[in-house]
Structure 1
Amino acid sequence: MTVSPLRLGVNIDHVATVRNARGGLYPDPIRAAHMAVLAGADGITAHLREDRRHIRDLDMERLKRQLFVPLNMEMATTPEMIGLALSLRPHAACLVPEKREERTTEGGLDIIGGHETLRPAIRQLKEAGIRVSLFVEPEVEVMMAAHDLGAPVVELHTGTYCEAALAADEAHVSHELERLRRAAAHGASLGLEIHAGHGLTFDTVGPIAAIPQIAELNIGHFLIAEAIFMGLDEAVRTMRAAMDAGRVRAI
């Protein structure tokens, strides 16, 4: 099979987290977005949460105005967020589960149980010319449900794999990689575009990049954390190199 180049989307949420800790104007997440693009990012991701704990409405407006690469808006499936997306018109909207008490997005959408809410939201966004992605668990039946809902893209949740890798649980790592490979292959066979993300690091990205059906990775928290020590541009370049090295194994 022909293996496409692997895109990198950089999530800048946690630059805004640092800014909001003091309630000021810096560090500026839009500046971080520009730096990431110059260092090799193919797109920028930002999650506008209902509680606005990091990215804010004005951040999204500035990103939309200033970026010359695709903007991926992560969002909950609520009337407020759908309305904002329809007004903003980002390149893409990734629908994610959202709980107020969570520290970060925990697991994938329940698209099998939540189809009555998701179907009209997907239709509205697609009709506005916004590419819709669903953040989901890597399961074959979930790929089938996403296809049935009419979503063109799924983003596979890699968090469980990354947790297993961090714990050095080789059996669990193998199990999770097989789940991801199987879901990616099945989703692609249905015509879905396959993305992946959550918790990926320099050490864990290689095996994910080697899955040939995956077209895009979205990575944020780790890159912003590493930027403290090595600078954001170098962190993005290092991740890009690790992704490219992993991709070679898919060819």
Structure 2
Amino acid sequence: MQSQQILLGVNIDHSATVRQARYREHALDRGRMVEPDPVEIALHAQRAGADGITMHLREDRRHIQDSDVRLMRDMIQVPLNLEMACTQEMLDIALEVRPDVVLLVPEGRQEVTTEGGLDVIGGRDNICTMVSHLGAVGVETSLFIDPDPEQVKTAAQTGCAYVELHTGAFASAFYESREAARYELERLRIAADIAANAGLKVNAGHGINYVNIRMVRELPHLHEMNIGHSIISRALYTGITEAVREMKALMNGVLR
């Protein structure tokens, strides 16, 4: 059990996915009942207790749009965590918008959502350059990585402030067997220990939901969990306010 409260970053990408399904040509017409508006969703999440808002500006702009990022930066009072690929285009946008944190992620055009962690070892030089440029304007960097000890150790050499451990393998194993889930949880625990000992803050994300979070919250050193799909899905039943409140209570053991 964590000795201090774990923060909740609400990823609002999939609210934009729903918007784009109907209003791809009119996503910027916010005054004309183009819904759902991801910025409005974020504001509701903020009022419900979200500690941060996460959004992924993809290279193909499949859901979040550039204007969403700029408006979000102006509208929310909690930290903005911008997920993005390690490209010059995305770096230029981040240097202009200046989110509180940039989460560097791998990006594949065919994937529905981000699958797998960043190869920090293979892309070390480029990642170090990105971290340096972002740090020069006061933007902290996080790296989305698999719970692999060597990737974690290399991440600590880049100058980043955070790692976000990719919990996807655990989330898949959770539905296979308790033994498989425990195995993946142990991999995450080892990676979290290595990261914390290297001076990195430890976040976690991908596939965390209202059931498996009871195991994820056992991980040591957790600073923040970034959760999107599960919260947006639950909001269809309860509304975004209740969905955020329930998740935040679960992640800190207030609800059992």
- Check whether TM > 0.5: yes
Q: Using a 3 Å threshold, how does the CA distance of structure 1 residues 247 and 186 change in structure 2: closer, same or farther?
A: farther
Per mean C-alpha deviation after superposition, the further-off stretch among 209-218 and 63-72 is 209-218
Q: Contact 1:108/1:157 (CA < 8 Å) preserved in 2?
A: yes
Unaligned runs of 5+ in 2: 27-33
Runs of 4+ in structure 1 deviating by more than 4 angstroms, as ranges, are none
Structure 2 Cα separation of the partners of residues 160 and 90 of structure 1: 28
Deviation string 1:106-145 (CA, Å, 9 cap, x unpaired) is 1100001111211111111111110100000012211110
Query: Between Structure 1 and Structure 2, how many residues are aligned?
Result: 247
Task: Determine whether 1:198 maps to 2:244.
Answer: no
Q: Secondary structure at the match of 1:148?
A: coil
Structure 1 Cα separation of the partners of residues 44 and 153 of structure 2: 38
Per mean C-alpha deviation after superposition, the further-off stretch among 223-232 and 88-97 is 223-232
Task: Determine whether 1:78 maps to 2:92.
Answer: no
Letter in 2 for 1:79: Q
Deviation string 1:143-194 (CA, Å, 9 cap, x unpaired) is 1100111111100000110111123x22210110000111101110110000
TM-score by length of 1: 0.95
Shift of 1:2: 8.2
Letter in 2 for 1:178: E
Task: Determine whether 1:114 maps to 2:92.
Answer: no
Letter in 2 for 1:146: A
Partner of 1:144: 153
Q: Contact 1:209/1:247 (CA < 8 Å) preserved in 2?
A: no
Q: Contact 1:6/1:247 (CA < 8 Å) preserved in 2?
A: no
Aligned counterpart for 1:170 among listed residues 154, 172, 178: 178
Shift of 1:39: 1.0
Task: Determine whether 1:208 maps to 2:216.
Answer: yes
Structure 2 Cα separation of the partners of residues 201 and 126 of structure 1: 32
Structure 2 Cα separation of the partners of residues 193 and 180 of structure 1: 14
Partner of 2:227: 219
Partner of 1:67: 76
Q: Using a 3 Å threshold, how does the CA distance of structure 1 residues 171 and 53 change in structure 2: closer, same or farther?
A: same
Structure 2 Cα separation of the partners of residues 206 and 246 of structure 1: 11
Deviation string 1:28-48 (CA, Å, 9 cap, x unpaired) is 000100111111110000000
Q: Using a 3 Å threshold, how does the CA distance of structure 1 residues 29 and 2 change in structure 2: closer, same or farther?
A: closer
Q: Contact 1:206/1:246 (CA < 8 Å) preserved in 2?
A: no
Note the aligned Cα RMSD (angstroms): 1.6
Q: Using a 3 Å threshold, how does the CA distance of structure 1 residues 246 and 189 change in structure 2: closer, same or farther?
A: farther
Shift of 1:247: 10
Partner of 1:12: 12
Q: Contact 1:71/1:90 (CA < 8 Å) preserved in 2?
A: yes
Unaligned runs of 5+ in 1: none
Q: Contact 1:202/1:242 (CA < 8 Å) preserved in 2?
A: yes
Structure 1 Cα separation of the partners of residues 71 and 125 of structure 2: 33
Equivalent positions of 1:86-165 (< 5 A) are 86-165=95-174
Structure 1 Cα separation of the partners of residues 184 and 161 of structure 2: 24
TM-score by length of 2: 0.93
